[in-house]
Amino acid sequence: GAVVSQHPSRVICKSGTSVKIECRSLDFQATTMFWYRQFPKQSLMLMATSNEGSKATYEQGVEKDKFLINHASLTLSTLTVTSAHPEDSSFYICSANLGAEQYFGPGTRLTVT
């Protein structure tokens, strides 16, 4: 069964607004979670590593002020896309490590109009 959940699965928002995506580990604690973005027909791109109780680590080229990450508990990380623009439309996927393996949430499809 699923070990990582995401909410919402799909969201449409207007340009300039902010959108929050939640990622939860189910029945296990995840001190570290990851946020990825995937554009159509392209590969996964790691955006940031979310660390419980401390600041997220962003990959090169990812704007930390635009993609706010909060990992407030051992089972929840949130990604907020601030002042969204149409070019932010993408498939956002979180993941968490359980033991040696990494499991992905079902993803959130964001469309910015």
Residues binding another protein (CB under 8 A): 32, 34, 43-44, 46, 49, 91, 93, 97, 100-107
Q: To the nearest whole angstrom, how small is the minimum distance from the Cβ of residue 42 to another protein?
A: 8
Q: 61 or 100, CB closer to another protein?
A: 100
Q: How far is the CB of 16 from another protein (least distance, A)?
A: 27
Which CB, 14 or 60, lies closer to another protein?
Answer: 60
106, 7 contact by CB (below 8 A): no
Nearer to another protein, 86 or 99 (CB): 99
First to last CA, the chain: 34
Q: Which is nearer to another protein, 10 or 85 (CB)?
A: 10
Alpha helices (runs of H) in the chain, residue ranges in sequence order? none
Neighbouring residues of 6: CB distance < 8 A, sequence distance ≥ 6: 21, 22, 23, 24, 93, 94, 105, 106, 107, 108
Identify whether the C-beta of residue 51 lies closer than 8 Å to the C-beta of residue 71: yes
Nearest distance from C-beta of residue 99 to another protein, angstroms: 10
